[in-house]
Amino acid sequence: MDQIVIRGGNRLNGRIPISGAKNSALTLLPCALLTDEPLTLRNLPRLADIDGFGHLLNQLGCSTTIEGSRPEDFGRVMTARATTITATIAPYDIVRKMRASILVLGPLLARTGEASVSLPGGCAIGNRPIDLHLKALEAFGAEMEMSSGYVKAKAPGGRLPGGRINFPVVSVGATENALMAASRAKGTCIIGNAAREPEIIDLCNCLVAMGVKIDGIGTETLTIEGVDRLHGATYRVMSDRIEAGSYACAVMATGGEVDLVGANAEEMQATIDALVEAGATVTPYAGGIKVAHEGRPKGITLSTAPYPGFATDMQAQFMAMLALADGVSVLTETIFENRYMHVPELARMGADIQVSGRSAVVRGVDRLVGAPVMATDLRASMSLIIAGLAAQGETTVSRIYHLDRGYERLEEKLAAVGADIERVNLG
């Protein structure tokens, strides 16, 4: 078991390369199941979740080869080819570890006319039902059944006839599954109240590169004209806006100036607006974003919302930074009902945070103090890293397998800009 040990108090200065987006990569990988030709993805982050999804693809008959596997490389190139689908069942042992595994449901159904996928796992940040995934596939003509912990889907006659779904609430995952299922439908599929996240646009652009016809990309209404056959493609994964925002919060907490190389300002405008409101100087440039800050952040009020609103995946990192703010901050979590599990751990380091329902009041303190803390989920673990970077003394973060799911070589990137941080193997 590994731990990360941080001796806090150092300013951060220099350059941090931003990796390919985890949330996008996990959506693009299942596209390989839609064609018998190779799909090559560039700028793929080196993460445990990516490796896990690659293993799931292998179980379904998809071969995967990786270039750029040298330890010093950031990002990799993976080519996946599903010449023949050898299984249409995504088993519990794999799916339980990673919620994104549910995204093989749509592609398998589109390609083979049937699919059985175990109910998913992932971070324990609240109830995340897949009912909208199922309603979308039903609206497109699939026959759905829940049995023994599995979702079983079947397309009458082997292909979905097409149809329309108007989501009652915005769902990123359901939009993604619906897009992939619709790509090989007999007729037209329309997705209303679709998610508009940059990762959705990335998926649409990849599907278009594979031969799918999609109108309305970037809007709340997507119209997909199914095609008989998709072809292979080579596609570059977008940069990770959540990783970039996380490191920006670290700069806010410690002080300093860091170039986030590869970050795209247009894809993270709500995060940038919140950083500026808290006192940061944010300067976009061709190929990245520069973030600088001196002194304590300012207290602000934030509420998470679907894109283009403030991302729920940034809430924990902002909370850690705002724990040191000059003033009071109020954060409201509207997406997941159990996403404040990092609060008790931040309190161990001296943070003053009171949670009431879906809101948290953060009263900024003059300093945080290093302590042993335990990660509870992916973004919560990053909040503890940020707190540790700013704290006086030593912080030890346990259960860092959460971090390895979403941040490529985090300690190496932070050490390069001045952090006193190391990974310790406890054997």
The phi, psi pair for 336, rounded to 5°, reads: -120, 140
- Do residues 103 and 30 make contact, with C-beta atoms less than 8 angstroms apart? yes
pLDDT of residue 335: 87
pLDDT of residue 131: 87
Whether residue 290 is annotated as binding a ligand: the answer is no
Residue recorded with tokens 């990002």: 75
Q: What's the topology of domain 2-19+239-425?
A: UDP-n-acetylglucosamine1-carboxyvinyl-transferase; Chain (3.65.10)
Whether residue 22 is annotated as binding a ligand: the answer is yes
Beta-sheet strands, E only, within 119-220 = 143-147, 150-154, 163-166, 188-192, 213-215
| pLDDT tops 60 at residue 126 | no
Condensed to tens digits (0 to 9), the pLDDT of residues 53-77 reads 999 999 999 999 998 655 556 789 9
| pLDDT tops 70 at residue 125 | no
For residue 144, the SS3 value is: strand
- How many CB atoms sit inside 10 A of residue 178's CB? 28
Residues catalogued as catalytic: 123
Residue recorded with tokens 């300012």: 298
12: amino acid identity, one letter? L
Tell me what the mean pLDDT of segment 253-277 comes to.
98
pLDDT of residue 424: 95
- Do residues 275 and 252 make contact, with C-beta atoms less than 8 angstroms apart? yes
Tell me what the mean pLDDT of segment 120-135 comes to.
63
Condensed to tens digits (0 to 9), the pLDDT of residues 107-116 reads 999 999 999 9
Tell me what the mean pLDDT of segment 260-275 comes to.
97
pTM for the predicted model, two decimal places: 0.94
Condensed to tens digits (0 to 9), the pLDDT of residues 374-416 reads 998 888 999 999 999 999 999 999 999 989 989 999 999 999 9
Residues in CB range of 247: below 8 A, 6 or more apart: 16, 18, 258, 260, 291, 413, 414
Condensed to tens digits (0 to 9), the pLDDT of residues 320-364 reads 999 999 999 999 999 876 678 899 999 999 999 999 999 999 999
Radius of gyration, CA atoms only, the chain: 21
Residue recorded with tokens 């995204």: 103
pLDDT of residue 128: 47
pLDDT of residue 123: 38
Whether residue 23 is annotated as binding a ligand: the answer is yes
96: amino acid identity, one letter? R
Condensed to tens digits (0 to 9), the pLDDT of residues 201-227 reads 999 999 999 999 999 999 999 999 999
pLDDT of residue 376: 87
Whether residue 129 is annotated as binding a ligand: the answer is yes
| Homologous superfamily of 22-236 | Enolpyruvate transferase domain (3.65.10.10)
| pLDDT tops 50 at residue 127 | no
pLDDT of residue 378: 87
Whether residue 130 is annotated as binding a ligand: the answer is yes
Condensed to tens digits (0 to 9), the pLDDT of residues 147-174 reads 888 889 999 999 999 999 999 999 999 9
At residue 183 the predicted structure's pLDDT band, cuts being 50, 70 and 90, is: very high
% of the chain at pLDDT higher than 90? 84
Residue range(s) of every CATH 3.65.10.10 domain in the chain: 2-19+239-425, 22-236
- How many CB atoms sit inside 10 A of residue 184's CB? 25
Residue recorded with tokens 């930074």: 321
End-to-end CA distance of the chain: 6
Which of these, 112, 54, 116, 53, lies nearest to 85 by C-alpha position? 112
